[in-house]
Chains A and B, each alone.
Chain A
Amino acid sequence: DVKVTQSSRYLVKRTGEKVFLECVQDMDHENMFWYRQDPGLGLRLIYFSYDVKMKEKGDIPEGYSVSREKKERFSLILESASTNQTSMYLCASRVGFNAEAFFGQGTRLTVV
């Protein structure tokens, strides 16, 4: 079974803090993604990576950055957390374009 693991299920951070969300997959997938999910808005793509050290902006990259130094790990960074970044963050990976995406269990981040 493919496993995508996110480092935390729940996080509470203060406004202005730098926040790191980690995601690891164990199936040697090329593509990895970060989404946020908010009620009524569905999943919105923040960033994705199609290979090590490669990254592309998604639909809502502002206030975020990413890092992919190793194939299995894709990190999402909130440079200076703000309350409007309170959300559920979901990491996903897939082997290729038409393939099934496998999700991590999600990180519910609250910024206070």
Chain B
Amino acid sequence: RKEVEQDPGPFNVPEGATVAFNCTYSNSASQSFFWYRQDCRKEPKLLMSVYSSGNEDGRFTAQLNRASQYISLLIRDSKLSDSATYLCVVSYTGGFKTIFGAGTRLFVKA
């Protein structure tokens, strides 16, 4: 079983739609959580950190559920420019280990 699992998709949604991704992690010692975005043939870039209380940045909302060991990303009012691969990232306290999920592909169409 992978330490960090994501649905690879692809998710095909129309502009304006709301779309949600989940990511599960297996190690309960995980302490830090992030969502990264990767455009085609580009490097990953931080989209947002995920805090225990949840956090929102414009159209993007990230949530953490420690009991069920998953994090989620919600995108409201999807734009064409949101088309990308979204990577779930989990880090462990006290060590360097940072695990990336394989990513979820999103296509937003006009």
Contact = CB atoms under 8 A, between A and B. Distances in A.
Partners in one complex: yes
B101 A42 contact: yes
Contacts of A33: 96, 98
B45 A103 contact: yes
Interface residues of A, number: 21
A10 to B, nearest CB: 11
Given A31-B96, A97-B32, A97-B96, A41 B102 contact: yes
B96 A50 contact: yes
B64 interface: no
Contact of A103 (B43, B91, B101): B43
A101 B49 CA distance: 11
Interface string B84-108: 0001000101111111111100000
Nearest to B3: A59
A97 B91 contact: yes
A42 B87 contact: yes
Is the interface on chain B under 10, 10 to 19, 20 to 34, or 35 or more residues?
Answer: 20 to 34
Interface of A is mostly: strand
Contacts of A105: 42-43
Given A45-B98, A50-B96, A98 B46 contact: no
A110 to B, nearest CB: 15
Contacts of B46: 100-101
B10 interface: no
Given A100-B46, A104-B43, A42 B32 contact: no
Contacts of B14: none
B100 A35 contact: yes
Q: Which of B91, B93, B99, B102 has the most CB of A within 10 A?
A: B102
A40 B43 contact: no
A43 B96 contact: no
Contact of B32 (A41, A56, A98, A103): A98
Contacts of A97: 32, 91, 93-96
Given A97-B94, A100-B34, A103-B43, 6 more contacts: A40-B8, A48-B96, A90-B43, A100-B49, A101-B44, A103-B45
